[in-house]
């Protein structure tokens, strides 16, 4: 399966992933922790353990501070 990964504030990647890949697998391929990002499909957050069922994923880094 081909997936376009749009990293907010960064580059867009084209990834080929197995049909049973999860959103977490996709992020691991980018060397980013699932705890540091939100994974969005059509503007809706996706759990890291859910199977990828989209051809476009937006990755938004979460910011913490105070």
**39-50 pLDDT, tens digit each:** 999 999 999 999
Is residue 17 within 8 Å of residue 1, measured between CB atoms? yes
- Burial group, residue 60, by CB count within 10 angstroms (0-12, 13-18, 19+): middle
Q: What superfamily does domain 2-61 belong to in CATH? A: Beta-grasp domain (3.10.20.30)
For the chain, give every domain's residue range.
Answer: 2-61
Answer yes or no: is pLDDT of 34 > 90: no
For residue 32, what pLDDT band results from cuts at 50, 70 and 90? Answer: confident
| CA torsion through residues 12, 13, 19, 25, sign | negative
pLDDT at residue number 6 = 95
């Amino acid at each position: 399966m081909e997936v376009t990964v749009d990293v907010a504030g960064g580059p867009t990647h084209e990834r080929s992933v197995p049909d049973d890949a999860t959103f977490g697998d996709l992020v691991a391929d980018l060397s980013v922790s699932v705890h540091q990002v939100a994974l969005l499909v059509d503007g809706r957050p996706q759990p890291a353990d859910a199977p990828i069922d989209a051809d476009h994923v937006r990755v938004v880094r979460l910011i913490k501070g105070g």
